[in-house]
Amino acid sequence: MKKAILLIFVFVLTFLSCDKTHEVVFQCSDNQDVCDLAQSNNDFAFDIFKSLHKKHLEGNLFISPFSISTALSMTLNGANGDTYDEMIKTLKYNGWNLDELNKAYKAYLDIVPFLDDEVKMSIANSIWYRNGFEVLQEFIDVNKNNYNSEVYGRDFSKSKTKDEINAWVEDKTEGKIKDILDNIDGGAVMYLINAIYFKGEWMYKFDKEKTYKTKFIKETGTNVEVDMMVSDEMYVPYYKNDIFEMIDLPYGDSIFSMSILLPLHNKKVNDIIASTDKSSWDKYTSNLTPIKMPIQIPKFKIKFKDLLKNTLVDLGMPKAFSSSQADFTKIRKSGGVYIDEVVHQSFVEVDEKGTEAAAATAVIIKVTSTGETFIANRPFVFVIRDNITNSILFIGKMMMPEE
């Protein structure tokens, strides 16, 4: 069955094992809020994936919606009024009490990364603020207590601060996400950052000796050569409808898996994306049925980086990015701050042994302009003085700039 993957859609939690039985270490009845949080995040995942797909129609796309949700949820704790309402709606947290949401995140971070001893998964959060910028202690405490956030006050005027933030992200992603920040903008006062790392070996590994060179057929009709991994017979969960067929490849002890949705020959990736949302996703995964079948998938690597401001504005949270309308008075009592940008960077590599993936999201907070602007675009007087005696050392007028 010589088929190439056209889509890697999302990593999902699954408790469906094939011919191997494992001890169930967690189930939704243990903490329903954790599973409800996953459902809300999945709902947001499809929204942002569809929006970014429209922006990158022909290119590779790989994101961690959980990383984006987490960084924005940390920021949500500083929002008020319409800004808060828009963020809640966009992140699909309707019906959530903020305190309950924070507790659900705490439980998720305490449980999910440790579900499978055979898979390495880590999630780290941090807040970096400019020295002298007054941050409400309540905002710091809620992120420390519920998101395990590390908090650092730094001099943003020094280039080493950017290097330190980048080094933190690189360390938390095992070196896979580098230079998430190109620079620290002069107006920036805070960075809220999430980093996630995943490394899992297939439950059923592919034999390197069987990997072969073949053609990968792009939607344009052109071909590109790939290394195709082969399993003559694998026992995996399978689902098929009139748009695509789907397999679920388990990692480690099958707690984590990779779901692959392959368009039927008369369909395209866009058909899958257009027809899939949280509800249909639940249907797909609940109808997976284990069968034995030959499988071929290509080895691949994707690196992706994008700015998410416009996408998030389009999804329904414009006020958070507005210097005149944003209300983050729960970050700083006097307000006057807004989200300038959200940077997302990701990496994934798939080979015969398994999958390594990482992502980081940085929410950049800036101070709102006072509204006053000084533009010296006409003749002016200027003075050079000493500030101890207030003695005027030089005085002049500038009528016309000269070289």
CATH number of the domain to which 351 belongs? 3.30.497.10
Looking at residue 163, its pLDDT comes to 97
Residue 208 within a domain: no
Higher pLDDT, 83 or 16: 83
Reply yes or no on whether the pLDDT at 277 is more than 50.
Answer: yes
Q: Of the segments 253-262, 353-362, 373-382, which one has the largest average pLDDT value?
A: 353-362
Residue whose structure tokens are 């996408």: 311
Contact (CB, 8 A) for 285 and 247:
no
Reply yes or no on whether the pLDDT at 108 is more than 90.
Answer: yes
Using DSSP bridges, classify how beta strands 212-217 and 223-240 pair: parallel, antiparallel or unpaired: antiparallel
Q: Which two tokens stand for residue 163?
A: 């290097």
What number of residues does the chain have?
Answer: 403
Looking at residue 142, its pLDDT comes to 98
Rounded-to-integer distance, Cα 67 and Cα 355, Å: 18
Looking at residue 392, its pLDDT comes to 57
Looking at residue 17, its pLDDT comes to 37
- DSSP 3-state assignment of 170? helix
Contacts of 254 (CB under 8 A, 6+ apart): 14, 15, 16, 17, 18, 20, 22, 203
Looking at residue 140, its pLDDT comes to 98
Identify the band that residue 375 occupies on the pLDDT scale cut at 50, 70 and 90. Answer: low
Distances (CA, A) of 124 to 25, 102, 233: 22, 15, 38
Contacts of 280 (CB under 8 A, 6+ apart): none
371: left (phi over 0), alpha (psi -120 to 50) or beta: left
pLDDT single digits (tens) 258-272: 899 999 888 889 999
pLDDT single digits (tens) 41-56: 999 999 999 999 999 9
What is the model's pTM?
0.88
Looking at residue 18, its pLDDT comes to 41
Identify the band that residue 378 occupies on the pLDDT scale cut at 50, 70 and 90. Answer: confident
Looking at residue 42, its pLDDT comes to 93
Residue 100 within a domain: yes
Residue 150 within a domain: yes
Reply yes or no on whether the pLDDT at 151 is more than 90.
Answer: yes
Looking at residue 401, its pLDDT comes to 73
Residue 233 within a domain: no
Residue 278 within a domain: no
Looking at residue 390, its pLDDT comes to 65
Q: Which residue(s) pair with 129 in the sheet?
A: 153, 190
Q: Which two tokens stand for residue 359?
A: 């992502």
Identify the band that residue 371 occupies on the pLDDT scale cut at 50, 70 and 90. Answer: low
Looking at residue 396, its pLDDT comes to 67
Question: By C-alpha distance, which of 111, 82, 85 is closest to 98?
Answer: 85
Identify the band that residue 343 occupies on the pLDDT scale cut at 50, 70 and 90. Answer: very high
Identify the band that residue 403 occupies on the pLDDT scale cut at 50, 70 and 90. Answer: very low
The whole domain housing 186 covers 8-201+300-367
Amino acid at 225: E
Higher pLDDT, 381 or 285: 285
Reply yes or no on whether the pLDDT at 190 is more than 50.
Answer: yes
Percentage of the chain beyond pLDDT 70 is 87
Reply yes or no on whether the pLDDT at 9 is more than 50.
Answer: no
Identify the band that residue 370 occupies on the pLDDT scale cut at 50, 70 and 90. Answer: low
Number of domains the chain is built from: 1
Kindly state the average pLDDT of the residues 347-373: 86
Question: By C-alpha distance, which of 97, 64, 139, 5 is closest to 362?
Answer: 64
Helix (H) or strand (E) holding 198: strand 188-201
Identify the band that residue 6 occupies on the pLDDT scale cut at 50, 70 and 90. Answer: very low
pLDDT single digits (tens) 224-236: 899 999 999 899 9
Looking at residue 224, its pLDDT comes to 87
Looking at residue 20, its pLDDT comes to 43
Q: Which two tokens stand for residue 184?
A: 């620290």
Reply yes or no on whether the pLDDT at 400 is more than 50.
Answer: yes
Looking at residue 7, its pLDDT comes to 34
Contact (CB, 8 A) for 86 and 314:
no
Residue 39: CA count within 13 A, CB half-sphere: 13
Residue 337 within a domain: yes
The secondary structure of residue 43, as a DSSP letter, is H
Question: How is 45-104 classified by DSSP, letter by letter?
Answer: HHHHHHHHHHHTSSS-----HHHHHHHHHHHHTT--HHHHHHHHHHTT-TT--HHHHHHH
Residue 106 within a domain: yes
Question: By C-alpha distance, which of 239, 132, 135, 254 is closest to 203?
Answer: 254
Question: Distance from first CA to last CA of the chain, Å, rounded?
Answer: 73
Residue 134 within a domain: yes
Looking at residue 265, its pLDDT comes to 87
Percentage of the chain beyond pLDDT 90 is 70
Kindly state the average pLDDT of the residues 122-144: 97
Contact (CB, 8 A) for 350 and 201:
no
Looking at residue 395, its pLDDT comes to 66
